[in-house]
Copies of this chain bind each other. A is one copy, B any other.
């Protein structure tokens, strides 16, 4: 067994020191009655070659973006990943260590996370950010819990344009707390109906959630939302699932958001069948002691040299137990590092250029779809199209041309079963975009 380093001879000597004859005796505290007597029903060890072949075989049963042009978005985005990210995170120094409990031996991780926190603050234009949460959806759930704690109110206002899976996760987290949800309608533009919001916002409202660009790709009027929130004493929670958009769109912080959460997968993390992803969480300085999750802070050592530590631990489960701001312990550290490398690679120019390419390539499709677009509001790189055939059937056709089509919305919204959510990124081939448009608009062309 190549993952074990003790020889039979050594085992014997160690047992002697331990004072038992057979290793099984070390398990004597487990009552016989609950012992497993049969061998595990798990196959014999497989060699490296066999394991590799097995997984390669499975990989061939998937449709992956290295072989197909994909227009799926909806919370997971197919973006370019600079090669150096994997070089950095493949250093065992980064990926095989634990949460940096012992700062003297973990300054590499700590400084990287401190930089990550800074980058997230800069991008969202917020004051503080944590070291990551599991994903965008649980980050939203944590934000909502924080808002309830802070405001001591119990109503949450949630628009239809929130990612339906985010809504579900949020519902799971608040299910057993004394919290009510109010739905918010959409306007034809595909944005939140601000009049409806104004009416819904009462003094029992803890927070309003708004996603922008929203699930349908439409850019929300965040400034108006935060203004209404301020007036009602509710907190505004802005959700971003397509983080690249922040390279171009006005940052939620500038629009007076109280909490900004979202998914950082677009920043250098492979689509990876949806995980590991990266929940980010940013808020105002005044709320930092109510923030969930780990935070790295700057300090000095006993000789006055700058160093970094995990801090504000009194918010956390290992100190506060049931009084903690969250139960989270392990987070998505390495994904935060990937994100930091990504953002530092792109830098000021690159993040803008990348966002612009997404905007313009999506617009290139948008223009071709014309009146098939369901919503009139401005979009970033996603859009909803109305189909005159079953979207699933269209997707089947697209697949034969090497294209993975969009997301049939009927899966989430029965009244939208003729609609499809499309995403265009810098990765899509213009020819495939054009072909997609052709097929969607039925100007069939021999291919």
Contacts and interface: CB of A to CB of B under 8 A. Distances in A.
Contacts of A427: 49
A191 B48 CA distance: 37
A272 interface: no
Contact of A83 (B48, B80, B82): B48
Contact of A48 (B48, B80, B91): B80
Interface string A41-59: 0000000110000000000
A82 B48 CA distance: 7
A66 to B, nearest CB: 8
Interface string A148-184: 0000000000000000000000000000000000000
Interface in A1-60: 48-49
Contacts of A90: 87, 90
A45 to B, nearest CB: 15
Nearest to A47: B80
A91 B87 CA distance: 9
Contacts of A49: 80, 427
A48 B48 CA distance: 32
Interface string A71-91: 000000000101100010011
Contacts of A87: 90
Interface in A287-302: none
A260 to B, nearest CB: 29
Interface string A86-106: 010011000000000000000
A219 to B, nearest CB: 27
A90 B49 CA distance: 21
Interface string A323-336: 00000000000000
Contacts of A48: 80, 82-83
A90 B90 CA distance: 9
A88 to B, nearest CB: 10
Contacts of A83: 48
A49 B427 CA distance: 9
A357 to B, nearest CB: 11
A430 to B, nearest CB: 14
A91 B96 CA distance: 14
A15 B300 CA distance: 39
Interface in A80-139: 80, 82-83, 87, 90-91
A352 to B, nearest CB: 16
Contacts of A91: 91
Contacts of A82: 48
A14 to B, nearest CB: 22
A83 B90 CA distance: 13
A18 to B, nearest CB: 28
A50 B361 CA distance: 17
A184 to B, nearest CB: 39
A192 B80 CA distance: 58
A4 to B, nearest CB: 14
A211 to B, nearest CB: 29
Given A48-B83, A90-B90, 5 more contacts: A48-B80, A49-B80, A49-B427, A87-B90, A91-B91
Interface of A: 48-49, 80, 82-83, 87, 90-91, 427
8 contacts: A48-B80, A48-B82, A48-B83, A49-B80, A49-B427, A87-B90, A90-B90, A91-B91
